[in-house]
Amino acid sequence: MNSMKSDLKSSLVALLSDLIAIPTTYPPGNTVDFCNYVETRLKPCDYQMKRHMSCSPTDNLIVRIDSPSMSPSIAFNVHVDTVEPGSISAWEGDPYKAHIREDRLYGLGATNCKGSAALHIWLVEEIFRRGGIQRGSITFSFVGDEEALGPHGTKMLRDKSVLNPQILVVGAPTSNDLLIDERGVMWLRLVTFGTGGHAGDPTSADNAIDRLVRLLSLLEVEVFQKLEMRKQGRISSTVNVGKISGGTNTNVVPEQAAAEIDRRLLPNESVAEAFSEIQIALEKSAEPEDSYKLEMLVGTNGFQGESNGLGVKAFSNAITKGLGRPPVFLTPIGAFDGRHFATDKIEIINTGPGESSEGHSPNESILISELIDAVDIHLNAIESLVGFNS
């Protein structure tokens, strides 16, 4: 490795290690200290920076780089909150202290998504070192509330027009390939009601858990099984019952029960239609109308990108140049913050270092060589889109 690559590696490793050491786990998803760190580090660059918080402790930092020409407008977005580490005994070391083994850096959030955050911070500093940009504008956003699929991060910035780009580049673990399609996501809660009583005489009561089982069985037949047949190209429509709760004690007939359902939608399916489909199926049951309630928790539509867009072309060429092969266009599985812009008719690109399988797992890690490759790819794409002053 030449000295330039060696210096870059040292810089990125030190930066990512700093980020991993700042706890941002959800709950509560406190990103204040993280934004403090980034703001302090980037202050010498003398770019416009502003914090946005609509609900404490979810903080969001915006860094803006302008030129005399405002087009194209590009936004780089990355979430900095993480899931909890889970069982500490499953980790080989402290999840909040980065350690390196061979070409991998280990630590909570290394892949999802502090690796991309380190990349984006480094890019801001490198753009400053290169004298800024020749044309257009670039916004970097470091956000929270992604792991909760909540409204106080990217969604809030979009709704307030703080983020309003022509091209949105979301930092995501794609192993530096491209994800330009995304499924919609809908979270539902199905609540059932009954009448409590003694478990020794269950027929004198009305069991809410039994009702929930009946309704879920109905949905399995009327809706869930049919989703397996729905596909749009390589993208699948799916459903998962992820959480069930109910009852207060084993010897008490439960008065209330609930199930939470994750429904992933094809880009050509809408949240409204998907919700209505489940609602109509429930109405076919013989259950009293006031004995259950269907609630929407989260709902955003999907999107399908175009491979010939300005941003996609720039990143495709940069990947081909940097990796010596054409980009792979990935099949969507998870949900990223670009979904909040699904109806805005802009280019949305998910890309970044790290393997998606590493996120949310014990001993989460990222290939350092992939992080270095991401620098070259992003710099080449940025230079193609807006140019550098030196």
Tell me if 128 sits within 8 A of 121, measured CB to CB: no
DSSP reduced 3-state for 380: helix
Question: For position 308, which CATH number holds?
Answer: 3.40.630.10
Question: For position 222, which CATH number holds?
Answer: 3.30.70.360
Same domain, 137 and 242: no
DSSP reduced 3-state for 252: strand
- Give the residue from 262, 277, 300 where a domain finishes: 300
Same domain, 178 and 245: no
Count of the separate structural domains present in the chain: 2
Same domain, 41 and 157: yes
Same domain, 253 and 318: no
- Give the residue from 272, 300, 328 where a domain finishes: 300
The DSSP symbol for 388 reads: B
Same domain, 140 and 9: yes
Same domain, 227 and 247: yes
CA–CA dist 138, 165 (Å, integer): 9
Same domain, 113 and 223: no
Same domain, 345 and 360: yes
- Give the residue from 256, 276, 300 where a domain finishes: 300
Same domain, 98 and 173: yes
Residue 333: per-residue pLDDT: 87
Q: Tokens 């083994």: give the residue.
A: 101
Both tokens assigned to 205: 């009561």
Same domain, 242 and 317: no
**pLDDT digit of tens for each residue in the chain (390 aa)?**
577 788 999 999 999 999 999 999 999 999 999 999 999 999 999 999 999 999 999 999 999 999 999 899 999 999 999 999 999 999 999 999 999 999 999 999 999 999 999 999 999 999 999 999 999 999 999 999 999 989 999 999 999 999 999 999 999 999 999 999 999 999 999 999 999 999 999 999 999 999 999 999 999 999 999 999 999 999 999 999 999 999 999 999 999 999 999 999 999 999 999 999 999 999 999 999 999 999 999 999 999 998 899 999 999 999 999 999 999 999 988 889 999 999 899 999 999 999 999 989 999 999 999 999 999 999 999 999 999 998
Least Cα distance to 257 among 186, 187, 194 occurs for 194
Report the Cα 47 to chain-centroid distance in Å. 26
Q: Please list the residues that pair with 253 across neighbouring strands.
A: 197
Q: Which are the contacts of 8, defined by CB distance < 8 A and separation ≥ 6?
A: 372, 375
Domain residues for the domain of 64 are 3-182+302-386
Same domain, 172 and 94: yes
Tell me if 339 sits within 8 A of 300, measured CB to CB: yes
DSSP reduced 3-state for 18: helix
Same domain, 174 and 84: yes
